[in-house]
Structure 1
Amino acid sequence: MTLTSREVRFSLPSLEVAGKVWGEPGGIPVIGLHGWLDNAATFDHIAPALKGVQLVALDLPGHGLSDHLPMAGYSLWQQASTVLQVAEDLGWERFALLGHSMGAIISGILTGSLPERIIGAAMIDGLMPFTSEPDDAPRQMARFFTSSLAVGNKRKPVYDSVEKAISARVLGGTTSIAREAASSLVERGLMPDHGGWTWRTDPQLMLPSPLRFTNKHAESFIEAISSPAMLVLANQGVMHEHPQVLDRIERFKHIQLHKMDGGHHLHLEAQAPDVAALLNDFYAALPKVDSSAP
């Protein structure tokens, strides 16, 4: 795989989606999916080390350089549908996935739903979404309604330098992240504003979900996975804050599980070479399919 990436844009029926491409046609076609509030740069440190694949890493809608969606447009299934639209645009009937965090959850949903299209899914510190039970649905919807009314009144912060934006990401993120790792994500996620810099990210992404899967819903997608699947679990990652989720992960014997010391963004930090080595072994074992250049 080439050390440098190139930019790509997909003109889908309802929006434009941006991305980064590593590798050339002929390798295993892989679509990369980043985590919540991140972007395609999440794979900058591991993509150059991948062998025999063509990686198309997306800025999912509302993130990075991609278009935003209308109100209430963001859901796991909507984002998954966008991935399929990109695959159609690429001419990829069958392809593999590489997902981190939210992107890993979307990968699990797609792989469980469409085994005939997904030849394999590698997931990094993410597998199942936050869940709630039916009795909580009215309260969850109320939280969404209340927050959506206020979202238009909130102003994005403006930083007078990119360095200050990076510091804000390091200090104010929902998970810990090294400065070098944050730099890759921040520089793709900023836009000029009033002589400074502010986030490109759609503020709607901060809204609570109007609906959540139940535990059974979430488990059903993972149990339905029949293609090869692998999870790299960060020993100091976000899932260790939810012991009940870890217990469920241990029960999914059909998912290759690799535990590794590191935080939630370990693929962007010091552990990136070790993560890339696991990914190379995983993708090398997948059946070969032809890919077309985006």
Structure 2
Amino acid sequence: MTAQVQEIRLNLPHIELAAHLHGPEDGQPVIALHGWLDNANSFSRLAPRLPGLRIVALDFAGHGLSAHRAPGASYLLWDYAADVLLVAEQLGWERFSLLGHSMGAIVSVMLAGAMPERVERLALIDGLMPYTGEAEQAPAKLGEALRAQLALAGKRKPVYAAIDRAVEARMHGTGGVSREAAELLAERGLMPVSGGYTWRTDSRLTLPSPLRLTRAHALAFAQAVKCPAMLVLAEQGLLHTEPRFAGLVEGLALEVRRLPGKHHLHLDDEAGAQAVADCFNPFFAVP
């Protein structure tokens, strides 16, 4: 499915973010947030199937065509939430909805829980809560992160001789994606370098988290969501295979739909994108 897409830049006080703009100017305002190491092309199949929405599909900081954070800055989930809020401010959107996949869904839940007065609706795809850690694990977790930061200067990104090689590597990356999905992500995610191509993403994105929310913290954000929320779960996705999520979804005030497909079901093929759209269109149409 093809539709007119506008490339835009958003100059926040601390960073410039890139985004795709979909839909009519008078459509319902929606900010779309992709997953870890993905980019705005994550929504290239789904967004055209959501008529009536004005969708700003961001490249998160450090991803796609967006700038990398300054030296010494971090890529913590709440940093992304602050970026999204500043994007809404720049767009003049007092109230807006969030469409999030994977890490983007997690950031959406955190922002909606923290700022319920700003978020109209939550449309989530195979993502809900971050990986958690308890207090007794915190010292070891911080030590792991600090050691990785010290070692980062000596590491180099992989360079692929041809785009096809990079596409194949992405197919077997986090969550696994179809070839067509990997090609779409590569369109926006690769850059030419000496010897071939490498990913634009900031190398710091692969560092371990210095601190994780406890399960109680993560649950508190999900329970603080006040707006209507729908979660589409992929039957072969990451949440389906995670025992820590067993029984969690049923205890939250959100509508859950289970669809066949893997973690990137909205991007892997046209049928998956349409199935997700068939869930979200009635959800956004409710006054």
Q: TM-score, normalised by structure 1?
A: 0.94
Contact 1:236/1:262 (CA < 8 Å) preserved in 2?
Answer: yes
3-state SS, counterpart of residue 67 of structure 1? coil
The share of aligned pairs that are identical, in percent, is 51
User: Structure 2: which amino acid aligns with 1:197?
Assistant: Y
Q: For residues 52-90 of structure 1, what are the alpha-carbon distances to aligned partners after superposition, in whole Å with 9 as ceiling and x for unaligned?
A: 100000000010001111335110000000001111110
Q: Which residue of 1 aligns with 2:53?
A: 53
User: Structure 2: which amino acid aligns with 1:33?
Assistant: L
Q: How many residues align?
A: 284
Question: Using CA pairs below 8 Å that are at least 6 residues apart, which structure has the higher relative contact order?
Answer: 1
3-state SS, counterpart of residue 3 of structure 1? coil
Q: Which residue of 2 aligns with 1:292?
A: none
Q: Which residue of 2 aligns with 1:111?
A: 112
Contact 1:160/1:195 (CA < 8 Å) preserved in 2?
Answer: yes
Q: Where do 5+ consecutive residues of structure 2 fail to align?
A: none
Q: Which residue of 2 aligns with 1:257?
A: 256
3-state SS, counterpart of residue 240 of structure 1? coil
Contact 2:233/2:240 (CA < 8 Å) preserved in 1?
Answer: no
User: Structure 2: which amino acid aligns with 1:78?
Assistant: D
What is the deviation of 1:282? 1.1
3-state SS, counterpart of residue 31 of structure 2? strand
Q: For residues 223-273 of structure 1, what are the alpha-carbon distances to aligned partners after superposition, in whole Å with 9 as ceiling and x for unaligned?
A: 011101110001100112312213211211x11100111100000023110
Q: Which residue of 2 aligns with 1:87?
A: 88
Q: For residues 104-162 of structure 1, what are the alpha-carbon distances to aligned partners after superposition, in whole Å with 9 as ceiling and x for unaligned?
A: 00000011111110000100000000001111111110010010111111111111221
1:188/1:31 Cα in 2 relative to 1: closer, same or farther (>3 Å)?
same
Q: For residues 6-62 of structure 1, what are the alpha-carbon distances to aligned partners after superposition, in whole Å with 9 as ceiling and x for unaligned?
A: 100011111110000101211100000000000000000111111110000000001
Distance 1:170 1:4 in 2: 27
1:239 is the counterpart of 2:244: no
The ranges of structure 1 where at least 4 consecutive aligned residues each deviate by more than 2 angstroms after the TM superposition are none
3-state SS, counterpart of residue 248 of structure 2? helix
1:11 is the counterpart of 2:11: yes
Distance 2:79 2:286 in 1: 30
Distance 2:188 2:72 in 1: 23
3-state SS, counterpart of residue 225 of structure 1? coil
Superposed CA RMSD in Å reads 1.3
Distance 1:275 1:105 in 2: 18
5 Å-filtered alignment, 1:118-267, equals 118-171=119-172, 173-252=173-252, 254-267=253-266
Distance 1:176 1:84 in 2: 30
What is the deviation of 1:278? 1.0
1:28 is the counterpart of 2:21: no
Distance 1:43 1:167 in 2: 20
User: Structure 1: which amino acid aligns with 2:40?
Assistant: A
Q: TM-score, normalised by structure 2?
A: 0.96
What is the deviation of 1:166? 0.5
Contact 2:231/2:255 (CA < 8 Å) preserved in 1?
Answer: yes
